[in-house]
């Protein structure tokens, strides 16, 4: 320990005049500490350069977030194309059977049943559930419903809504506070799915809500999906219930983390999605 504290003098002398230009007192301990500090600062600089700059993309084996999103979107599109090809093959096969006389020429359904994304036809209620729905509809036929234009449970009684996202509900519907939807938190890059079959009427970017998707459904019902990272559908696209339409994100200024803000509007009036959909 004594050798580490022995003092030494580092001199810079003019070789011609032997004039002393610079001097500093050092010990072995000081040299070790200075070396350690320099090494630490160098490591922090390299780490910051890799984390906060695009240089990390050139590191072998590194996959950035955008690449993951593109890969996921490509997978979803490939699945949709594969499903469409299978449907076309089934159609051609049944059409050939019609031409050979194996099926009736007036057959209304030429498509064979396929294992596809769950839709309303896969969620048809049973006899007991249908009877319960009918009884509840009769009992509530003359109830006062919430909303200025009379939109309420009776308008959605016959619809089976698919949950757009499975996750934790952090903020619920609150008309008084001006929160006309609900916030659902799920794992990163989770698929946001259409709650019902319909047509995309808006797919755009806004400063507050980021990537936003609006889908028009029957019975004057509109579903809204906000703060997405990627939109998988564009305006005019037809979607089915349970079909992936976007990816969970954190876009827009009015957000505190990756989540989905989901709204339901019936005849121009907001309704509470939790009355019709189970999210957790």
Q: Which residue do the tokens 């009884």 mark? A: 135
Q: How far apart are the first and last CA of the chain?
A: 64
Indicate if the pLDDT at residue 55 is higher than 60.
yes
For the chain, domain boundaries: 2-58, 64-116, 120-275
CA 59 to chain centre: 27
pLDDT tens track for 16-34: 888 888 888 888 888 888 8
What is the value of pTM for the model shown?
0.47
pLDDT tens track for 130-183: 777 777 777 666 554 444 444 455 667 667 888 999 888 999 999 888 899 999
Whether domain 120-275 has CATH 2.70.70.10: the reply is: yes
Distance CA 189, CA 192 (A): 9
For residue 239, the tally of other CB atoms under 10 A from its CB is 23
């Amino acid at each position: 320990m004594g050798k580490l504290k022995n003092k030494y003098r580092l001199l810079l002398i003019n070789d011609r005049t032997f004039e002393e230009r610079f001097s500093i007192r050092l010990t072995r301990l000081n040299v070790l500490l200075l070396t350690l500090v320099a090494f630490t600062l160098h490591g922090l600089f390299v780490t910051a350069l890799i984390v906060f700059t695009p240089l990390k993309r050139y590191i072998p084996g590194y996959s950035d977030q955008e690449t993951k999103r593109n890969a996921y979107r490509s997978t979803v599109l490939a699945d949709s194309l594969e499903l469409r090809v299978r449907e076309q093959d089934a159609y051609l096969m049944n059409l050939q059977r019609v031409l050979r006389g194996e099926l009736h020429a007036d057959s209304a359904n030429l498509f064979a049943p396929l294992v596809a994304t769950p839709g309303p036809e896969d969620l048809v209620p049973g006899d007991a559930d249908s009877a319960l729905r009918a009884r509840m509809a009769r009992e509530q036929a003359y109830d006062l419903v919430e909303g200025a234009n009379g939109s309420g449970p009776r308008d959605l009684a016959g619809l089976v809504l698919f949950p757009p996202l499975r996750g934790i509900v952090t903020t619920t519907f609150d008309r008084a506070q001006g929160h006309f939807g609900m916030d659902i938190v799920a794992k990163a890059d989770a698929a946001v799915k259409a709650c019902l079959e319909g047509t995309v009427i808006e797919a755009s970017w806004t400063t507050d809500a980021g990537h936003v998707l609006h889908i028009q459904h029957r019975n004057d019902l509109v579903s809204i999906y906000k703060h997405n990272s990627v939109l998988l559908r564009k305006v005019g696209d037809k979607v089915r219930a349970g079909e992936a339409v976007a990816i969970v994100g954190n876009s827009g200024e009015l957000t505190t983390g990756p989540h989905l803000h989901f709204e339901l509007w019936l005849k121009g009036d907001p309704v509470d999605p939790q009355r019709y959909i189970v999210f957790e």
